[in-house]
């Protein structure tokens, strides 16, 4: 039984499957498109929402250092992703890499785990998109009625009960139709969105720099203490633990660069283009994040983000501490909407590509690998995941913690670092378009840093992850192992 669970899919078989024209994806993406795809996924809810949350509850002004810690962990994992993506240019990301190195059972765990990052993440961001749309409409004295922009589990202060979150479903419909139409078209629209939101981020950094109050950065690292979170529980604030806790929170802001690897089968020259797309998008966003967090915590004191500036923190900082720049607050709201839209796009693209690979392997039904005869996109998978994500976004409140998305992603990062190390030992002569430097040091450091951030997310999130994985185990042992192409071929 153990031999079945940890049976590895040969690299030759992986590459052979990718040439199957009946289940192949159209190669249309170059390094520039892939870099923009990464930036599109990375800059979004994390930057505009999690920065203030991490400063208020964990690190204070040292949230800038938290971003550096999170970036280091992502850099180690990104180097490992780059080697895998250039060597195994198949759709599926960490799922495919795990199948080629540590076996089918671990690959299934990763594939199932990635739903936390992509599908649940897309639903959560869609709900946030709905909230910010109402904030934008308020500028023109317009408002979507409460009952049509909230779930049935939510009630307003005046007693109005929600029915369905229609704006969240609307953005999911638009993004799904775009993805069905084609990856190249999706990448083009994503490129426009990326230019808009990067421009807004740069405007905030440039104009906000002159409004920085040095007192807000003194001390940069607050003294360690215990404070009450918004949920009423005790958390560590300040000091080293505060910085690590902040890193675990702002890690959500980096989620997305790994989604570039899910599009490996649509890259024109994956051996060259995938490393460029992954590492360039990560580097650009890291620089922007450090500058953005430094300016935000310099304009407003981190204590402001605990109460008055807890929601729409960036807009709050501009409105209260940057007189004459109300127009920038409006543009920030527009940028957030654009940012959320591109994050949803890349998350849904990543989710369907993971299940595309899993379906070819027989671990999920074949409908997930059916390709549109004209557009060469997994259109049935797009529709199925729209229904799943749409139900969640429309009828469930936006209480899915970003920490759950983070823990799923960090888990995948750890296994990718392990996989690169294993593959170097088992198959040292395999052609590699890009080689992770200093193996095994870089993978080991990636494992340590990512594991430290997982530790910082707490036992409650581990329990939730455990329940989710148990559901996955039931599906694997009742369906997947019986229908696995690899298991059938080995009989």
Structure tokens at 96: 């495919």
Say if strands 234-237 and 225-228 run parallel, antiparallel, or are unpaired.
antiparallel
Choose between 488 and 187: higher pLDDT. Answer: 488
Beta bridge partner(s), residue 235: 227
CA angle 276, 279, 283 (to 5 degrees): 125
pLDDT of residue 11: 64
Per the domain annotation, does 456 fall within a domain? yes
SS3 at position 301: coil
20 domain-assigned: no
Q: 143: buried, middle or exposed (CB in 10 Å: 19+, 13-18, 0-12)?
A: exposed
Average pLDDT score over residue span 107-129: 83
Please name which of 368, 371, 482, 459 lies closest in space to residue 95, comparing C-alpha atoms.
368
The answer to whether residues 202 and 292 touch, using CB atoms and an 8 Å cutoff, is: no
Asked whether residue 270 is domain-assigned, the answer is yes
pLDDT at 262: 61
Alpha carbons 331 and 97: distance in angstroms, whole number: 40
Q: What is the DSSP string of 252-284?
A: GGGTTGGGGGGGGGGBSSHHHHHHHHHHHHHHH
Lowest-confidence region among 266-270, 319-323, 382-386 = 266-270
Establish if 66 belongs to a structural domain. yes
Per-residue pLDDT, 21:
47
pLDDT at 377: 80
Residue 427 lies in a domain: yes
- Cα separation, 376 vs 99, in Å, equals 25
* Structural domain containing residue 236: 26-481
pLDDT at 265 over 80: no
Q: What is the pLDDT of residues 312-347, one digit of tens each?
A: 688 888 888 999 888 888 888 887 887 788 788 878
Query: Can you spell out the DSSP letters for 392-427?
Result: HHHHS-S---HHHHHHHHHHHHHHHHHHHHHHHHH-
pLDDT in tens, 64-99: 999 998 888 888 888 888 787 777 766 556 777 778
Rg (CA), the chain: 22
Residue 215 confidence (pLDDT): 93
| Position with higher pLDDT, 137 vs 12 | 137
Locate 98 and state its tokens: 């795990």
Residues 6+ apart with CB under 8 A from 12: none
Higher confidence at residue 183 or residue 117? 117
Question: Mutual orientation of helices 94-101 and 402-426 as an angle, nearest 10°?
Answer: 40
Whether the pLDDT of residue 206 is over 90: the answer is yes
79 within domain boundaries? yes
Q: Is 185 exposed, middle or buried (0-12, 13-18, 19+ CB in 10 A)?
A: middle
Q: How confident is the model at residue 169 (pLDDT cuts 50, 70, 90)?
A: very high
pLDDT at residue number 83? 82
pLDDT value at position 234? Answer: 66
Give the mean pLDDT of 207-222. Answer: 91
- Asked whether the whole model's pTM tops 0.85, one would answer no
pLDDT tens-place string over residues 464-481? 888 888 999 999 999 988
Residue 381, both tokens: 């998978």
Instruction: State yes or no: cis peptide before 372, omega within 30 of 0.
Output: no
Domain total in the chain: 1
**Residue 26 in this model has a pLDDT that exceeds 70:** no
Model pLDDT, residue 315: 82
The beta-carbon contacts of 14-18 under 8 Å, at least 24 apart in sequence, are 14/88, 14/90, 14/96, 14/99, 14/100, 15/88, 15/90, 17/90, 17/360, 18/89, 18/90, 18/91, 18/265
Give the pLDDT confidence of 388-446 residue by residue, as tens digits.
Answer: 889 888 887 765 545 677 787 788 888 888 888 888 888 888 777 778 888 899 999 99
Mean pLDDT of 154-159: 79
Residue 358 · residue 368 · CB < 8 Å: yes
pLDDT digits (tens, 9 = 90+) for 189-200: 767 777 887 888
What integer pLDDT is reported at residue 23 of this predicted model?
A: 45
Q: State pLDDT tens for residues 216-247.
A: 998 888 887 777 655 455 677 778 888 888 88
Cα(324)–Cα(350) distance, rounded to whole angstroms?
Answer: 41
pLDDT, average across residues 159-172: 91
Q: Does residue 487 form part of some domain? A: no
Confidence of residue 178 (pLDDT cuts 50, 70, 90): confident
Q: What is the DSSP string of 339-397?
A: HHHHHHHHHHHHHHHHHHHHHHTTSS-GGGG---TTT-S-HHHHHHHHHHHHHHHHHS-
Q: In the structure encoding, which two tokens stand for residue 39, read together?
A: 């930036």
Share of the chain above pLDDT 70, in %: 84
Q: Is the pLDDT of residue 285 over 60?
A: yes
* Domain CATH for 470: 1.20.1740.10
The DSSP output letter for 49 is I
Q: Tell me the per-residue pLDDT of 95-114, one tens digit each, with 9 for 90 and over.
A: 777 787 778 888 888 888 88
Question: Any bridge partners for residue 149, and if so which?
Answer: 165
Which residues are paired to 6 by β-bridges? none
pLDDT at residue number 296: 94
With a cut of 70, say whether residue 128 has pLDDT above it: yes
DSSP state of 434: S
Do 322 and 299 contact (CB within 8 A), yes or no?
yes
Mean pLDDT within 37-60: 78
Query: How far apart are alpha carbons 276 and 263 in whole angstroms?
Result: 13
Q: CA–CA separation, 56 vs 63, rounded Å?
A: 9
Alpha carbon distance 264, 34 (integer Å): 9
Number of helices (H) and strands (E) in the chain: give both, helices first.
21, 2
In a domain, 140, yes or no: yes
Please say if the pLDDT value at position 52 is more than 80: yes
The answer to whether residue 149 scores a pLDDT higher than 80 is yes
Range from 9-13, 27-31, 119-123, 471-475 that averages highest in pLDDT = 471-475
The runs of H, that is alpha helices, within 43-139 are 45, 51-54, 63-87, 94-101, 104-117, 119-137
Average pLDDT over residues 357-366: 86
């Amino acid at each position: 039984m153990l031999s079945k669970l940890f049976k590895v899919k040969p690299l030759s078989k992986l590459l052979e499957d990718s040439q199957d024209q009946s289940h192949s994806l159209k190669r249309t993406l170059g390094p520039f498109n892939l870099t923009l795809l990464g930036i599109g996924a990375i800059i979004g809810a994390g930057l505009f929402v999690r920065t203030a949350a991490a400063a208020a509850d964990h690190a204070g002004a040292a949230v800038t250092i938290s971003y550096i810690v999170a970036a280091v962990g992502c850099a180690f994992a990104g180097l490992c992703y780059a080697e895998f993506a250039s060597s195994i240019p198949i759709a599926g990301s960490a799922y495919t890499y795990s199948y080629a190195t540590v076996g089918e059972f671990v690959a299934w765990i990763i594939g199932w785990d990635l739903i936390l990052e992509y599908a649940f993440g897309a639903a959560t961001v869609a709900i946030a998109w709905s909230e910010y749309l109402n904030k934008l409409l308020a500028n023109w004295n317009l408002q979507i009625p409460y009952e049509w922009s909230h779930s049935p589990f939510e009630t307003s202060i005046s007693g109005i009960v929600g029915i369905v979150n229609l704006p969240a479903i609307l953005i999911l419909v638009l993004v799904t139709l775009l993805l069905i139409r084609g990856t190249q078209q999706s990448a083009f629209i994503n490129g426009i969105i990326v230019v808009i939101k990067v421009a807004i981020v740069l405007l905030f950094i440039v104009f906000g720099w002159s409004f920085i109050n040095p007192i807000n950065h003194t001390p940069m690292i607050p003294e360690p203490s215990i404070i009450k979170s918004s949920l009423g529980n005790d958390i560590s604030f300040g000091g080293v633990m505060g910085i690590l806790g902040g890193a675990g929170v702002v890690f959500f802001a980096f989620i997305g660069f790994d989604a570039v690897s899910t599009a490996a089968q649509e890259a024109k020259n994956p051996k060259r283009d995938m490393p460029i797309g992954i590492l360039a998008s990560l580097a650009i966003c890291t620089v922007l994040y450090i500058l953005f967090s430094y300016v935000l915590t310099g304009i407003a004191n981190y204590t402001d983000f605990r109460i008055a500036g807890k929601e729409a923190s960036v807009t709050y900082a501009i409105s209260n501490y940057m007189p004459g720049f109300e127009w920038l607050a409006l543009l920030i709201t527009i940028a957030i909407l654009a940012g959320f839209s591109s994050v949803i796009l890349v998350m849904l693209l990543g989710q369907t590509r993971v299940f595309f690979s899993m379906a070819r392997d027989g671990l999920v039904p074949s409908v997930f690998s059916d390709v549109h005869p004209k557009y060469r996109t997994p259109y049935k998978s797009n529709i199925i995941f729209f229904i799943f994500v749409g139900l969640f976004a429309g009828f469930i409140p936006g209480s899915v913690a970003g920490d759950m998305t983070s823990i799923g992603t960090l888990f995948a990062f750890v296994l990718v670092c392990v996989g690169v190390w294993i593959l170097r030992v088992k198959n040292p002569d395999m052609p590699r378009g890009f080689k992770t430097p200093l193996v095994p040091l870089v993978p080991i450091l990636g494992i340590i840093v990512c594991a430290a951030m997982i530790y910082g997310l707490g036992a409650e999130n581990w329990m939730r992850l455990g329940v989710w994985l148990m559901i996955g185990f039931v599906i694997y042992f009742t369906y997947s192992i019986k229908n696995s192409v690899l298991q059938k071929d080995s009989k």
